[in-house]
Amino acid sequence: MGGVRYLTSGESHGQGLIGIIEGLPAGLEISEEDIFEDLQRRQMGHGRGGRMKIETDRARFISGVRFGKTLGSPISLLIENADWKNWTTKMSVSEVDEAVKVVEIPRPGHADLAGIIKYRAGDIRDILERASARETATRVALGAMARKFLGKFGIKIVSHVTRIHTAESSFSVAMMRHDDKTDFTLEN
């Protein structure tokens, strides 16, 4: 097969988010703390909703890591949803006796409409639970593992804004230096 592949599962208000990554070699040093650093960065973004105050994203390895090193087998992790306790009825995996309000109006600017057409869903909640910013927590956690792997080859992942409308930056990635921290700083 070759390469690195990932899979995510879980709903925004479900019990938790699950990620599986395969293709990482055995012996790569990795910790839940490495992943937590990137998950914290995700939560600092501008325009984050109230949900960010409820959740403290912590990824917990379920399999594929032993004694702080990858085993070479697929790695699975879980990010529990603290808010699940308030959604146990609406997001139950089993039938429930009480009525649960059906979401019928798609949110503008979201994947709701495309999702209900594609999957023929009667309740938009079936779509919006996956088409949620919360779902990106799993991708960030899996990306942190890929970043750690790439770091073994001297590859650093950086990003910056180059232009907003007519305001353009003269900043260049070449102007950056790494100073033994997880972030980069400008050279003088």
Percent of the chain's residues with pLDDT above 90: 48
User: How does pLDDT run across 9-58, given as a tens digit for each residue?
Assistant: 999 999 999 999 999 999 999 999 999 989 988 877 665 566 556 777 89
Q: What is the pLDDT of residue 162?
A: 81
Is 21 exposed, middle or buried (CB count within 10 Å of its CB: 0-12, 13-18, 19+)?
Answer: buried
Q: What is the signed CA dihedral for 118, 124, 128, 130, rounded to 10 degrees?
A: -60
The model's pLDDT over 45-95, given as tens digits with 9 standing for 90+, comes to 665 566 556 777 899 999 999 999 999 999 999 999 988 898 988 888 888
The whole-model pTM stands at: 0.80
Q: Does residue 157 have a pLDDT over 50? A: yes
Angstrom distance (rounded) from CA 20 to CA 12: 17
- Enumerate residues 6+ apart whose C-beta is below 8 A from 140: 38, 39, 41, 42
* Separation between Cα atoms, residue 85 and residue 88, nearest integer Å: 6
CATH superfamily, region 5-88+134-155: Chorismate synthase AroC (3.60.150.10)
Average pLDDT for the chain? 86
> CATH 3.60.150.10: which residues of the chain?
5-88+134-155
For residues 141-156, give the mean pLDDT. Answer: 93
